[in-house]
Amino acid sequence: MRRRKRVGFTLIEVLLVIAILGVLAAFVVPSFMGAGEQAKIDAAQIQVSRSGPIASSLDMYRLAVGDYPSTEDGLRALWERPDSLDEDVKWNGPYIADVKSLIDPWGKNEYQYRYPGEFNTNGYDLWAMGPDKEDGTDDDVVNWTKE
């Protein structure tokens, strides 16, 4: 009698491989999820920093107009001439290439702006509301030093 050669895996072997893959996934997936959120925070920090693209646009506006936009005019003044400007004031805008660059990385809110600044007394405050999308919480990404 000829013996048949065994082909395939036993149920125990399959379950063992599934268990090993489950343990690996339990360690790998959370680290990837955290990396995505950290990337958004880093992107927001770049945008609101004193050397970031929004700061450059605000500086170009200040050079042309003579001062930063008011809180009321906000960042909208970077792509649309504010009604509050006198007719003789030269507005060379738009000062940003894409209005969408003023939306935070979480895709829901515009960057927040205040001039004169409450925290940057010689300039403006610029911030993103952060992952929780609520203003004034600990996860806000700001252009001033938090105490």
Q: What is the largest CA-CA distance in the chain?
A: 105
CB 91 within 8 A of CB 64: yes
| Two structure tokens written together for 45 | 């920090």
Q: Per-residue pLDDT for 145 more than 90?
A: no
Closest CA to 71 of 99, 128, 112, 102: 112
Complete domains list, the chain, with CATH: 15-142 (3.30.700.10)
Q: How far apart are CA 59 and CA 55, in angstroms?
A: 6
- The mean pLDDT of 57-82, rounded to a whole number, is 93
| Two structure tokens written together for 61 | 């506006």
CB 60 within 8 A of CB 95: yes
pLDDT tens sequence across 10-59: 888 888 898 888 888 887 776 666 677 888 989 999 999 988 899 999 99
Q: In the prediction, which pLDDT does 82 show?
A: 92
